Amino acid sequence: MNSDFNQEPGTRNFSQQFFSRLKPHFLIMKVSTPMFKSFEIPAKSCITIITSFVLMLALLTGSTGHAATPRRDPYAELKKRLQDDGFSAAQINSLFEPPPPLQYRLISKTLAIKESRLDYDQFLTPSSLAIARRNLVSFASTFDRAERLYGVDRSVIAAIILVETRFGGYTGGTPTLAILASYAVMNQPHHQERIWALLSPRDRKRWGREAFEKRLLQRSQWAYPEVCALLRLSETRGLRAMSLQGSVMGAFGWPQFLPSSLLRWGADGNGDGAVDLDQPEDAIFSAASYLQAHGWNDSGSRSEKEAVIFRYNKSTPYVRTVLAIADRLSSRE
C-alpha cells in the first residue's frame, strides 16, 4: 500500500483513505454569474460518476469480462456452399483464416465505372508502343517459341500484355481473395444493402434497385467458381492466395488472368515446373495458350480475331485497341 495512505489514522479503512487523498485534486467549479457560488464536487461523488461512465463504456464495447455476443461470420454461407461442393473444412479454413476483409467500398466504386470513359487511346501513343517493342526484343526467343507452339502472332500477345499491365508495369494492388470472396457473397441481401448505401444518389438513380441487385447477383454467380479455383490452386500448386494482388475484378499477373484461367490455361514458359504470371516467359506463354484455346487463327478474318479477343476481355473498345496495337507493331509504325 502507498505510504501516504499508511499515514492516515488507523481507524480509517482503505476506501476512506483513498477518497480522502483524492479530494483535494478534484475540480472546484467556479461560476461567474451572481446566481451561483463556487462549489466543490466531493471526491467520492466524482469516483461514483467516473466509475459509472467507465462501466457504461465497457458495456457498449463488450469489454466487461463477460463474453461479448459473437460477430456473425460474413462468409458463413459461402463456406457452407464450398463444403457442400466437396472442399474440406481444412482447405476452406486455410483460405478464410483470418477472414479476408469485405471490400464493400471497392465494389461500390466498380459500379460507378463506365466503359465509355476508359481511355484506351493511351496505349496507342508512341511511348506505349515503345514499351511493347522493347519487350518484343528483350523476350524475342520466348515470343518465337510461343508462336511456334500456339500459332498466335507475337504482336497480338504483346498487345494484350501491354493493355493489361504495360508488361508488368502495374498489375494492381487489390487483394485477390478478398475481392473475389466479397463478390461471391453479393447474392445475400444484407451485403447488397451495404453496397447500395455507399452508392452516390446519381449512381443509384442510374442503376435503379432492380438492375443493381441483378448485377450483384450476376457477379456473385461469376465469382464463386473463381473462389473454388483459388482453393484448387492453393491445394494443387501451392499458390499463396492470401498474398495475391491484382485488379478490382480479381485478375492478376502480367496477363491479368482470373484464377480459373490460370488453372486451365496457365503455361510454364521458362521450364521451371511452375506457372508464375509475374514471370515474363510464363505470362507470354499463358496469354498465347488462352488465345489458342479460344480459337485464335492467324489466318482468320478480322471479325473472327475480334471474337477471340472478346473472350479475353468482353469490351469492344478493348478488342479494337488490341488489334490496332498489333497492327502497328507488325507494320513497325
95-115 tens-digit pLDDT = 999 999 999 999 999 999 876
Residue 240 burial (CB count, 10 A) = 9
Query: Residue 199 falls within a domain, yes or no?
Result: yes
Indicate the pLDDT class of residue 71, thresholds 50, 70 and 90.
confident
Q: Provide, rounded to the nearest whole percent, the portion of the chain with pLDDT above 90.
A: 74
Q: Are residues 29 and 130 in the same domain?
A: no
Of the candidates 28, 26, 24, the residue with the CA atom closest to the CA atom of residue 49? 26
Give the domain range for residue 57. 3-61
Q: Are residues 194 and 290 in the same domain?
A: yes
Query: Residue 70 falls within a domain, yes or no?
Result: no
Of the candidates 322, 167, 171, 307, the residue with the CA atom closest to the CA atom of residue 249? 171
Question: Rounded CA gap, 89 and 263, in Å?
Answer: 22
Question: Rounded CA gap, 75 and 16, in Å?
Answer: 54
The pLDDT of residue 44 is above 80? no
For the chain, where are the alpha helices, taking DSSP H only?
Answer: 3-6, 14-22, 43-61, 76-84, 89-96, 104-110, 126-138, 140-150, 154-165, 176-184, 189-198, 201-207, 209-237, 259-265, 280-293, 302-312, 316-331
Q: Residue 327 to residues 253, 312, 315: CA-CA distances in angstroms?
A: 25, 18, 19
Query: Residue 68 falls within a domain, yes or no?
Result: no
Question: Rounded CA gap, 284 and 316, in Å?
Answer: 23
Q: How many separate domains does the chain show?
A: 2
Give the tens place of pLDDT for each residue, 119-145: 999 999 999 999 999 999 999 999 999
Q: Are residues 118 and 258 in the same domain?
A: yes
Confidence at residue 12, expressed as pLDDT on a 0 to 100 scale: 34
Give the tens place of pLDDT for each residue, 11-20: 333 333 333 4
Q: Are residues 184 and 55 in the same domain?
A: no
Dihedral (CA of 327, 313, 251, 83) sign: negative
Query: Residue 271 falls within a domain, yes or no?
Result: yes
Q: Are residues 125 and 56 in the same domain?
A: no
Query: Residue 66 falls within a domain, yes or no?
Result: no
Q: Are residues 188 and 236 in the same domain?
A: yes
